[in-house]
Structure 1
């Protein structure tokens, strides 16, 4: 929306930069690989994980938190595709899929004992959360105040 001028400010995850936009890193979002109650990986012991994970159906996203950004050895051949964290979470909740989610997003289900991170020391990655502004489109005083406040809050 910032690229086409519909919005003056954006916040999102991004490793790919579009010409004409400014990107200011705010913080990193940690993503872990999760399964849910009912999935074979949820209750298995450590000896079984390596075999079961090779056969697991993995959810991929259509945006940049995707398999090409990781070299994790998971089977992405017959995977589901989701467009948002909500879709990934619902597919994980089915007990049929595993997938990466931001830790803060998955924490609700982890606290309830419904989600479990799979080998978190091995299956995790960080992605930058960025403030996005246009290099060419004029900003409003309100947008400038918001940008300044966001930068102040994140000490950037």
Structure 2
């Protein structure tokens, strides 16, 4: 393993921090050209900054030429150190912001499929009140798969996540919000749509093509998949519903999500007393996360408004 010494670097000031930011961006963009737009400086200026950084560190950090951009072994080590450095600086900034009486800084939310639009979460009401009382907080709200959300919370990339509760991971706190019921549906294009006899439906499901989420979930969900022919996967409810509506597949959907299709006569529950399962919906936060007043205030608002 290469041993990197920063003894000769001397004091790290604003200029050195700027050079390290340039280096980090170049690495994450995969080269000088791609970093031009992000940094809003020319490739020649980036090259000068990189040369100055290498001169100060007395290390060759990367190679760039016809073969493309690549980190040296020393460059990879420096990049990991730089990434940790800026993460610690962000922690420091967030801690300072959290200590002020007035809420400021950023709040990063990330939700699994359809949760943000579920009226039981009361997100419009919560966000309206949050923005009224914390106008200086910059909000970021994204959608991602469950496994990504768990990782983002654990890595400090997001502050609050919203997922179906399907397992307990160390390092996460699960705040129960409400319970979701999922049923097996077919569309009006499917042969089982007009069938009235339960036994005929049971027999028909043996050969029916089903679309499933494609992920490992809790045991109750796994039990419901027994006997169904897995013919396709679609993680997001929107794409899964589209495949069910085609008439080629049956599949599970949350009751609230499928309600409109049922009301319009396009979807039907199949064996609702047998083919169903429940999912608890939870907000997750980092068990050992840094002091974060915007996050804590948001959670208090959410738990006071949520409809169970």
Contact 1:8 1:139 in 2 (8 A): no
Q: What pairs up with 1:103-142 in 2 under 5 angstroms?
A: 103-142=255-294
Deviations 1:72-130 (A, max 9, x none): 34323x42011111111011011000000000000111111000000111111101101
Contact 1:30 1:124 in 2 (8 A): yes
| DSSP 3-state at the match of 1:27 | strand
Counterpart in the other structure of 1:33: 184
The answer to which of 104-113 and 78-87 deviates more is: 78-87
Contact 1:32 1:101 in 2 (8 A): yes
| CA distance, structure 2, for counterparts of residue 62 and residue 55 of structure 1 | 19
Counterpart in the other structure of 2:13: none
| CA distance, structure 1, for counterparts of residue 289 and residue 176 of structure 2 | 20
Question: Between Structure 1 and Structure 2, whose CA radius of gyration is higher?
Answer: 2
| CA distance, structure 2, for counterparts of residue 16 and residue 67 of structure 1 | 10
The Cα of 1:18 is off from its aligned counterpart by 1.9
Counterpart in the other structure of 1:52: 204
Instruction: Give unmatched runs, 5+ long, in structure 2.
Output: 1-151
Instruction: Give unmatched runs, 5+ long, in structure 1.
Output: none
Q: 1:67 to 1:48 in 2, by over 3 A?
A: farther
Counterpart in the other structure of 2:236: 84
Counterpart in the other structure of 2:175: 24
The Cα of 1:64 is off from its aligned counterpart by 4.4
| CA distance, structure 1, for counterparts of residue 307 and residue 194 of structure 2 | 42
Q: 1:139 to 1:93 in 2, by over 3 A?
A: farther
| DSSP 3-state at the match of 1:97 | coil
| CA distance, structure 2, for counterparts of residue 128 and residue 51 of structure 1 | 30
Higher helix share: 2
Normalised TM-score (structure 2) = 0.47
| DSSP 3-state at the match of 1:35 | strand
RMSD: 2.0
Q: 1:103 to 1:65 in 2, by over 3 A?
A: farther
| CA distance, structure 1, for counterparts of residue 173 and residue 214 of structure 2 | 23
Contact 1:11 1:132 in 2 (8 A): yes
Higher strand share: 1
| CA distance, structure 2, for counterparts of residue 155 and residue 122 of structure 1 | 27
Normalised TM-score (structure 1) = 0.90
The Cα of 1:150 is off from its aligned counterpart by 1.4
Highest relative contact order (Cα 8 Å, sep 6+), 1 or 2?
Answer: 1
Counterpart in the other structure of 2:126: none
